[in-house]
Chains A and B, each alone.
Chain A
Amino acid sequence: MSFILFAAESTEEAANPILPVANEIFWGAVAFFSLWALVKFVLLPPVLKVMNERDARIQADLDAAEVARSRAGSAASEVSDQLVDVRAEAAQVVDAARAEAEAERATLISAAESDVAALKADAEAEIAEARAAAMSGLGPQVAELAAGAASKVMDRQVPLSSAQPVVDRYLNNPN
């Protein structure tokens, strides 16, 4: 099969198909200028109006959101500041409590030390008293033993009355 492609044979009346023709220009001009006028005065304004309203609404919402965000930011900042204050206050309370506890502890320790010192003094007094009592009971017996021992060493009778002062002196001042 052969394909025969040939250009239009020019006839005597055939107009150039590339050139514009008056009737098409007329209808094209009528249509275009009508469309232009309709778009300008009828079709476009309401569309632009609603689009602008939407843009304005969106912008207003965005602005409101920005204000809310700003408010939230300032509230957060406020809360943060308050938190700092509360923390400082808490630290002060803790420090005060710690100082009070320290003072209480010092007071208690001091009182305890006083009690201990008093108890110690009492105990020492008791000991001294017991020691004095023991010494006073021990003197005659030691004097008797010392007199007996001295009598045997000297081979004569040493009276108890002469041994007693020596023994008392020694017991009262053993060093």
Chain B
Amino acid sequence: MNALLLFAAEEEGGGGLEFPPIENLVEWPAYFGEGTIFEFNKIGLISLLALIIPTIMFLASKKELVPSGLQNIVESIVDFVDKQVILSAIGPEGRKYMPLLLSIFLFVFFGNIFEVIPTFQMPANARMANPLILALVAWVTFIAVGIKAQGFGGFMKSSLFPPGVPKALMPLVSLIEFISTFLLRPFGLAVRLFANMLAGHILLVTFGVLCIAVWKASPLVILEPLTFATLVGLTGFEVMVSLIQAFVFSLLTAVYISLSRSAHH
């Protein structure tokens, strides 16, 4: 991204600032396999790193009764997902979904955190592919859980025909429930993550470009501390956003699973 920023900050004649086109911020050249489904670019690399890093962390952590070092971090993550996601949304019986919810949490977080890692500076979830995959997984899971818990008819009935609604309104309510449950839930999951990370990415790029432009513009260089401090602050903020989005995605998935398990919601 540094090259992009330098490119973006390049003065044009009268010293103006050219902000890079949006596709230059989110689309990356292929490392190999260009033009095929196997085309591997920075997003693919970050996705693989979101697989490799937690795998190494879990494998490298000791398995001792008195934890120390990396084991503390790994167990804290597991404990966080257990207590803050599973127990708070589903209850103890939701622990069988721990592998899925932990995988979602780790994959989203490590996909996000590359937004602030130098040389990468791009969250994989600022592209629609990964949020879409995760949302589809969540969608299939909560439908499967609902059908398994209540049967197909029971799940459809509890999802589309809420009790207490007047019969005259039932068609309209059922339509709304169908759109809400089966279309908006996965769409909302995917777009929430994607939009948050894309917005954060654009925000960081904007302030990065602004810092360089201000640095090069002699009368405005006095604003540099302000713009740079804002960039640093926003970087910290994006670290927090990365974590929060991972938590929100896994928590909402758990909530949807929990709602599917109960007959009336």
Contact = CB atoms under 8 A, between A and B. Distances in A.
Given A28-B129, A43-B54, A35 B103 contact: yes
A35 B19 contact: no
Contacts of A48: 78, 98
> By CB atoms of chain B within 10 A, which of A27, A29, A34 has the most?
A27
B102 A3 contact: no
Given A26-B38, A48-B78, A1 B44 contact: no
Contact of A19 (B30, B54, B128, B137): B128
Contacts of B220: 1
B14 interface: yes
A3 B37 CA distance: 39
Interface stretch (B61-69, B113-121, B147-155, B239-247): B61-69
A21 interface: yes
Nearest to A51: B75
B22 A47 contact: no
Interface in B36-79: 36-41, 43-44, 47-48, 50-51, 54-55, 58-59, 61, 63-65, 74-75, 78-79
A12 interface: no
B67 to A, nearest CB: 8
A60 B194 CA distance: 46
B55 A17 contact: no
Given A1-B17, A24-B127, A43-B58, A36 B133 contact: no
Contacts of A23: 30, 33, 36-41, 44
A112 B250 CA distance: 103
B217 interface: yes
Nearest to B24: A8
Contacts of B75: 47, 50-51
Chain A interface: which size bin? 35 or more
A18 interface: yes
> By CB atoms of chain A within 10 A, which of B24, B64, B128, B137 has the most?
B128
Given A17-B27, A32-B47, A35-B103, A1 B64 contact: no
B213 A3 contact: yes
Chain B interface: which size bin? 35 or more
B98 to A, nearest CB: 7
Interface of B: 14-19, 21-27, 30, 33, 36-41, 43-44, 47-48, 50-51, 54-55, 58-59, 61, 63-65, 74-75, 78-79, 98-100, 102-103, 106-107, 124, 127-130, 132-134, 137, 194, 210, 213, 217, 219-220
Nearest to B26: A17
Given A31-B47, A35-B107, A22 B59 contact: no
A22 B127 CA distance: 12
A39 interface: yes
29 contacts: A1-B15, A2-B16, A4-B19, A7-B22, A9-B21, A20-B128, A22-B37, A23-B38, A23-B39, A23-B44, A24-B41, A24-B43, A24-B47, A27-B48, A28-B44, A28-B133, A31-B47, A32-B47, A35-B51, A35-B103, A35-B107, A36-B99, A40-B100, A42-B58, A43-B55, A44-B99, A48-B78, A48-B98, A50-B64
